């Protein structure tokens, strides 16, 4: 009994498989070709009418007599002026416009970045000319007190502090330091910033040279004063005319005052 059921099932499957048949409809194929890519060919409008085939009359009448103007108008979406062609052309034009605006925005962005780099103090520290030259030349301004008495004897330091020369030095150097900080923090053109660096550097060099000259003059005066004192205390040593020594001391002091 089971074998009978199996045999009937296999027979049913065989009949079902053979019952499916591929149907080729030229009218549908030609319509697909016309609407997608092929030409609007008058010879491929199926079903066709033939006077010697009465069987074609009904199909032709049901298809084309109801739409008499269909074959006269090219309805392909991809024709020269078709809807899909227009959409593709519009999409291309929009893409070109989008690329143009993107290029314009990129140009504006690059200009904005260039202007920001040129004017902003945020990136002023990264300026190559500043990094390679002016930063090193103006480094003494970062520690004014430490650089004031480098290699100077203690007696000269004490004398310069008591005489008020050190206060003058601090005032002038702090003024340059304030201008230096302003040059690094203000938003100005790069060329103007470099000119500010350069002027501060020249004034710092001049001020440092004046300060070094003051230190040398003070050291010379203190040494001479100490020698003069020792000579006066030592009665056995013949010393030069005291009046002449006093004149030399006054000359040194006078030149020191002129440097202030």
Under DSSP, is residue 218 helix (H, G, I), strand (E, B) or coil? helix
In contact, 44 and 30? CB cutoff 8 Å: yes
Instruction: Give the model's pLDDT for residue 6.
Output: 61
> pTM for this one?
0.53
233 CB-side CA count, 13 A: 6
User: Which mean pLDDT values do the consecutive 10-residue runs of the chain (260 residues) have?
Assistant: 58 55 73 72 69 73 75 77 86 90 82 76 82 92 89 88 91 94 87 91 94 89 84 60 56 56
Instruction: Give the model's pLDDT for residue 132.
Output: 92
Instruction: Give the model's pLDDT for residue 24.
Output: 73
Tell how far CA 2 is from the center of its chain: 84
Instruction: Give the model's pLDDT for residue 15.
Output: 55
Give CA–CA dist 5/11, Å, rounded: 10
Instruction: Give the model's pLDDT for residue 104.
Output: 83
The DSSP output letter for 49 is P
The DSSP output letter for 48 is P
């Amino acid at each position: 009994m089971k074998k009978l059921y199996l045999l009937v099932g296999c027979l049913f499957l065989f009949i079902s498989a053979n019952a499916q048949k591929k149907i080729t409809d030229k009218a549908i194929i030609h319509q697909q070709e016309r609407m997608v890519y092929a030409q609007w060919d008058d010879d491929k409008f199926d079903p066709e009418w033939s006077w010697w085939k009465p069987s074609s009359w009904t199909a032709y009448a049901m298809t084309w007599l109801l739409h008499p103007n269909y074959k006269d108008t090219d309805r392909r979406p991809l024709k020269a002026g078709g809807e899909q062609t227009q959409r593709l052309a519009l999409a291309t034009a929009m893409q070109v416009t989008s690329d143009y605006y993107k290029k314009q925005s990129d140009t504006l962005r690059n200009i904005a970045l260039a202007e920001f780099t040129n004017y902003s103090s945020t990136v002023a520290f990264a300026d190559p000319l500043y990094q390679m030259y002016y930063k090193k030349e103006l480094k003494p301004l970062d520690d004014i007190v430490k650089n004031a008495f480098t290699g100077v004897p203690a007696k000269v330091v004490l004398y310069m502090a008591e005489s008020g020369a050190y206060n003058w030095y601090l005032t002038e150097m702090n003024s340059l330091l304030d201008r230096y900080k302003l040059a690094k923090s203000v938003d100005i053109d790069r060329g103007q910033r470099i000119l500010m660096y350069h002027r501060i550097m020249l004034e710092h060099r001049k001020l440092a040279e004046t300060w070094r000259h003051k230190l040398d003059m003070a050291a010379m005066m203190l040494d001479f004063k100490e020698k003069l004192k020792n000579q006066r205390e030592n009665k056995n040593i013949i010393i030069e005319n005291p009046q002449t020594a006093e004149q030399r001391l006054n000359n040194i002091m006078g030149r020191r005052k002129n440097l202030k």
